[in-house]
Amino acid sequence: MDKQNIFVVGLNDFNRARLSGLRGAEDYHFHGVIEPAEVYDTEVFPIEDMVKRAGKTLEEFDGSIDAIVGYMDFPVSTMLPLLCDRFGTRTTSLESLLKCEHKYWSRLVQREVIGNYIPRFTAFDPFDDDALAHIGQSGLYFPFFVKPIKSSGSRLGFRIDSPEDFASAIAQLREEIGLISEPFNFILDQADIPPEVRAVDGGFCMAEEIIGGWQCTVEGYVHEGRVNPYGIVDSLRYPRVLSFLCYHYPSRLPENIQTRMCELTTTLMRHIGYDNAAFNVEFFWDEVQNRVWLLEVNTRISQSHCDIFEKVDGVSHQQVTVDLALGQSPDMPHREGKFAVAGKFFYRVFFDDATVTRVPETQELEALTREFPGTVIDVQVEPGQRLSELPEQDSYSFALAYIWMGADSSEQLEENYRQLADRLVFEFSDVVG
């Protein structure tokens, strides 16, 4: 039997190693489409050109094209329906994907079926000098949150507590929103979109009521119309800031809250018409009011969760994406891993900017991974680099390293990370803030 050819947009060495450990991987050939640096190490996305070049690579391939997949948010997620439609492979429709990724359209369809679980919201033009007044006329008042109609990671998201905050955010949005609005508008032009949504293109922003609480992510997929949420990961933040500290799996939320989130997820994804693809949905549980809020829907698995699913369940949940793309019901195990709990930690600094002068040496990292078996440390900076040059950062901090760890309990996991973090030595010069 010939091996099946699976094309991965932006395939890098880190993901190739994980893909080789999937169930059935011995029967697959994994091929890269588009260099990983074009989707991981930049904030400039010439997406029309990228789609053309990806199509040319696939056209010139001498063999079967059995699946086309990706694990990144924009631009990869939005390229997949175009490529899959052209080459006859499986994924969800472009329109159903955009009902998740276009934040205004997403809120509109959410309101149709789960309106009690979403915040008040309105769209606005950041280049409108009267934008703040229009937001107030919609019934939103300080504090509120603003973000682009299409964002990548946590970029250009701001909490607004005053007119001064809004002015500062608008200045940055006007300067940077074009980096993503222009390529996103190319994608919108390929889709069948209602007029009220088309009028709110990638250059617009969202203002939303502040929601919060215990944050988590429901990872799931839809196969032949059947929605299956298969795992919930907690998202823990640093105290008093919006920056993530850790993703923790399995969730420690009460079982009834987890069940409600899975029910809401199933209702929404069916309503959208999303099918034959993976997704994840981010929620908050306000423990004081015992209220669940839906934050947003992502049209992919979370790469950040791959290692922690492998540690706890026995295989990276990339398994889900590959199986679906091949037309198979996902062969995802449950609690067959080496650890009871696992986490991805974000080692951060809260400067406005700085130059990196030292990062941990290879032998230092190797000593730590020997001391804490199963640990993976991925340093994100190098000496001489300005922190402000790092792509895909939030508006409040810089992630210097990602650390994945497993343990027998949540308490042991947290203690192991504290010990490890104390021994990671970074140094800086020209520190600002």
DSSP states of 292-361: EEEEEEESS--GGGHHHHHHHHSS-THHHHHHHHTT------SS-SS-SEEEEEEEEE--SEEEEEE---
Q: What is the pLDDT of residue 154?
A: 65
Q: What is the pLDDT of residue 172?
A: 95
Give the three-class secondary structure for 427: strand
Name the burial class of residue 130, with classes exposed (0-12), middle (13-18) and buried (19+) by CB atoms within 10 angstroms of its CB.
exposed
Contacts of 59 (CB under 8 A, 6+ apart): none
Instruction: Provide the terminal-to-terminal Cα distance of the chain, rounded to the nearest Å.
Output: 60
CA angle 118, 123, 124 (to 5 degrees): 150
Contacts of 84 (CB under 8 A, 6+ apart): 68, 90, 91
The CA-based dihedral angle spanning residues 245, 299, 148, 207, taken in that order and rounded to the nearest 10 degrees: -80
* Residue 371: both structure tokens together: 């001391």
Which range among 77-91, 257-271, 379-393, 402-416 shows the weakest confidence by mean pLDDT?
379-393
The CATH superfamily of 214-432 is ATP-grasp fold, B domain (3.30.470.20)
Q: Determine contact, residues 128/134, Cβ cutoff 8 Å.
A: yes
The CA-based dihedral angle spanning residues 263, 269, 270, 276, taken in that order and rounded to the nearest 10 degrees: -120
Distance CA 298, CA 174 (A): 25
Q: Determine contact, residues 351/432, Cβ cutoff 8 Å.
A: yes
3-state helix, strand, coil in the chain (%, to 5): 35, 25, 35
Question: Residue written as tokens 């199933």?
Answer: 266
**Bridge-partner residues for 349, per DSSP?**
398
- pTM, whole model, 2 decimals? 0.93
Convert the pLDDT of each residue in 7-33 to its tens digit.
999 999 888 999 999 999 999 999 999
Give the three-class secondary structure for 141: coil
Q: What is the pLDDT of residue 153?
A: 62
Convert the pLDDT of each residue in 43-64 to its tens digit.
788 999 999 999 999 999 999 9
CA angle 124, 154, 270 (to 5 degrees): 75
* Residue 285: both structure tokens together: 């549980």
Question: Residue written as tokens 């907690």?
Answer: 234
Interval 377-384 mean pLDDT: 95
Q: Determine contact, residues 336/313, Cβ cutoff 8 Å.
A: yes
CATH, range 4-96: 3.40.50.20
Name the burial class of residue 61, with classes exposed (0-12), middle (13-18) and buried (19+) by CB atoms within 10 angstroms of its CB.
middle
Q: What is the pLDDT of residue 241?
A: 78
CB atoms within 10 A of CB 176: 14
Convert the pLDDT of each residue in 218-263 to its tens digit.
999 999 999 999 999 999 998 877 789 999 999 999 999 999 999 9
Q: What is the pLDDT of residue 362?
A: 96
The residue extents of the domains of the chain are 4-96, 120-209, 214-432
Strands 214-223 and 226-237: antiparallel
Give the three-class secondary structure for 420: helix
CB atoms within 10 A of CB 374: 16
Distance CA 405, CA 342 (A): 6
- At the topology level of CATH, where does 120-209 sit? Dna Ligase; domain 1 (3.30.1490)
Q: What is the DSSP letter of 369?
A: H
Query: Whole-number mean pLDDT of the chain?
Result: 95
Angle between helices 94-101 and 76-87 (to 10 degrees): 170
More confident residue, 177 or 151: 177
CB atoms within 10 A of CB 216: 25
